[in-house]
């Protein structure tokens, strides 16, 4: 399940008031989520949660749920 904190970061970067983000949501389904905003979202998540993602980790992301799982794994180390 997508945390409220992660959802807030994503929506803020996309200038959206609300959007129903689910684990299986992919970027093209979300208004404004293009390649440039993808980078901005990742940078904002890194800053908000004080984590760093490696390039190869980011290449594995297929949906919002993958981002949540990767974030959780970083926070639980």
Domain with residue 68: its CATH number is 1.10.1200.10
- Is residue 77 predicted with pLDDT exceeding 80? no
Q: Which domain holds residue 46?
A: 4-75
Residue 31 confidence (pLDDT): 97
CA distance 26 to 18: 16
Residue 74: pLDDT above 90? yes
Q: In 10 A of CB 24, how many CB atoms? A: 11
- For CA atoms 76, 18, 12, 32, give the dihedral sign: positive
Domain count, the chain: 1
CB 13 within 8 A of CB 47: no
- The pLDDT-based confidence of 41 (bands split at 50, 70, 90) is very high
Helix residue spans in 15-54 (DSSP H): 35-49
Mean pLDDT of 7-17: 97
pTM of the predicted model, to two decimals? 0.93
């Amino acid at each position: 399940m997508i945390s409220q904190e992660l959802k807030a970061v994503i929506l803020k970067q996309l200038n959206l008031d609300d959007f129903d983000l689910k684990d299986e949501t992919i970027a093209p389904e979300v208004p404004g989520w293009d390649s440039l905003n993808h980078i901005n979202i990742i940078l904002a998540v890194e800053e908000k949660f004080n984590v760093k993602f490696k390039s190869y980790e980011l290449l594995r992301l297929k949906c919002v749920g993958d981002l949540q799982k990767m974030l959780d794994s970083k926070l639980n180390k």
